Amino acid sequence: MNFLRLTTRHLKSTHPTRPMTMSTFKIPGSNFQINSIPDLSKEDLLSFPAFKTWISTLQQSLARQNHPSHEFHTDPYVLRKIDIQSIDRFGGARLGFVKLKADVSNSGGETLPGSVFLRGGSVGMLLILQPDDVANPTENDKRAILTIQPRIPAGSLAFPEIPAGMLDDSGSFAGGAAKEIQEETGLVVEQGDLIDMTSLAAQAAQEPGQGERLQHAVYPSAGGSDEFIPLFLCLKKMPRTSIEELQGKLTGLRDEGEKITLKVVPLGDLWKEGFRDGKTLAAWALYQGLKQEGLIE
């Protein structure tokens, strides 16, 4: 409730003379209504990659109720309307975040929680460094890189996590991962050097072909956000002195507010050093599980 009050005040102060009227429209071929705020046009919303991915995924999942074997087949849930509550733009122009409420209910009046913070996909990278003076390095020889940086939503100025970042509109997952590694650590890697751990995990899980078509990614907060994070592994051999020089290095795009300090930790300590970060723990678990299955070396 406080969030909505703050959002309303923000809109009023930004456009003090603009009437706060809602625009209403529908997606072609759909039956539900979208009620939008004045600052967000139909064209902007329908071209927003995060919205397109989310609405397509939701519609596919709802359509699965048509099969007699589905748990909700006898009284299926229907998306009845979407209320856009607020938005944030990056650089004052590009749509970045959308807060919305989706009304999903069945004929019996049962409603599913539908408050959504829409932000789209990100990528996370487990970057493991191996000293090149060891012919057959063991797990004890390996080091992992954490970034220490301010995360205001968590109330932190020194939050430890694996390198990660949001995808831009045109980047591939692997390309985005390679880009983030370079921006956050200064290390250059090729897309071909990256192993998509979440895709390997999906293959190992043998997900049924008729199941929900979710992203090959982890969802760190599926109860409130659409954010999905494919997790990549990069194994990189480097001189021992170069690995040591990364400790405490300042990186990040400083002109974009990124103030990152690198921390190099023994691979075996990664889970303890980054236990507060969901994607770090997920990357650690996937790495251990995939090694146990013999899917990565």
Give the pLDDT confidence score for residue 68 in this predicted structure: 95
Tell me the per-residue pLDDT of 74-119, one tens digit each, with 9 for 90 and over: 999 999 999 999 999 988 788 999 999 999 999 999 999 999 999 9
Q: What are phi and psi of 263, to 5 degrees?
A: -130, 120
Q: Residue for token digits 């090959």?
A: 216
The pTM of this model reads 0.86
DSSP one-letter string for 243-260: HHHTTT-EES-GGGT--E
> What CATH number was assigned to the domain covering residues 2-118?
3.30.565
- Domain residue limits, the chain: 2-118, 122-292
- Beta pairing class for 194-196 and 23-25: unpaired
Give the pLDDT confidence score for residue 112 in this predicted structure: 97
Tell me the per-residue pLDDT of 250-279, one tens digit each, with 9 for 90 and over: 876 555 666 889 999 999 999 999 999 999
Q: Is 74 left (phi over 0), alpha (psi -120 to 50) or beta?
A: alpha
Mean pLDDT of 123-135: 93
CATH 3.50.30.30 fits 122-292, yes or no: no
Give the pLDDT confidence score for residue 224 in this predicted structure: 96
Question: Is residue 9 predicted with pLDDT exceeding 50?
Answer: no
One-letter amino acid for residue 5 of the chain = R
